[in-house]
Amino acid sequence: MHTLTLGSETLSLPARPSNDDFPPLPFGLTLDDAVAVRAHEVKAGDLVVAQFSDGTGVRPTMHVPVPSPADPHLPSACSCEGCEECDDMDAWTLAEHSRVADVDWRFVCLIPAEDGEACILVLRNRPVAVIPAEVVARAEEAAVPVRTYRAAWFADFEASSPEEAACLAYEQLKSYATDAWSPVLEITDEGGHLTVIDLNAPERTEQGQ
């Protein structure tokens, strides 16, 4: 549980759920990096991680499943082409036409809909938890980049068919686990640079392609 302060109010921010719907925060960031601000104080590039519902005492917290950099704007200027949140807002204004004039001064859209996620529309004064843009930028700069590597393993087998050779290769791969004997792997990065790694030896040889 993390504790955030906003003016005279103390907010409790529980740990993010740990399941497929809530991936880890990017660049090694954690909730220790979060601060509390009012929704209308969110700046472009801030990472919105949670919002706090109305209530007294401990406010209910809603974590953002996939936190995204904020792009705060008026609901009337939203680029969304239709999402659940915007549809609910339309229904709210249609129920009483006088509410149309209230939308832009009562609400702020922090993140427009994308990748199947609805817009994040919040009352302007509602507390939200964000990681400031400058903290995100420093973490991104310091993060070790994730690249794509191709791992290849080669061996020669005497066999009467491709299927038999495949079965022999499969049996040999399984033996690496039971016999504690690891293969030699060829690892090629995105630039075509080849590294040969013998998992049984600390030495390795590198070869450009």
Average pLDDT over residues 110-139: 89
Give the count of alpha carbons within 13 A of 199, CB side only.
Answer: 12
Q: Is the pLDDT of residue 208 over 70?
A: no
Percent of the chain whose predicted confidence (pLDDT) is above 90: 27
Q: Which residues pair with 187 in a beta bridge?
A: 151, 195
- pLDDT band of residue 199 (cuts 50, 70, 90) is confident
Mean local confidence (pLDDT), 197-203: 72
pTM of the model: 0.64
Residue 209: pLDDT over 60 = no
pLDDT at site 10: 86
- pLDDT tops 60 at residue 204: no
Considering just the CA atoms, what is the radius of gyration of the chain in Å?
A: 26
Taking a C-beta distance cutoff of 8 angstroms, is the pair 52, 59 a contact?
yes
Give the burial class of 165: count Cβ atoms within 10 A of its Cβ; 0-12 exposed, 13-18 middle, 19 or more buried: middle
Phi/psi of residue 60, each to 5°? Answer: -60, 140
Residue with more model confidence, 43 or 114: 43
| pLDDT tens readout for residues 26-84 | 999 999 999 999 999 999 999 999 999 876 656 778 898 888 899 999 888 887 877 88
List, for residues 160-177, the tens digit of each pLDDT value.
Answer: 999 999 999 888 888 887
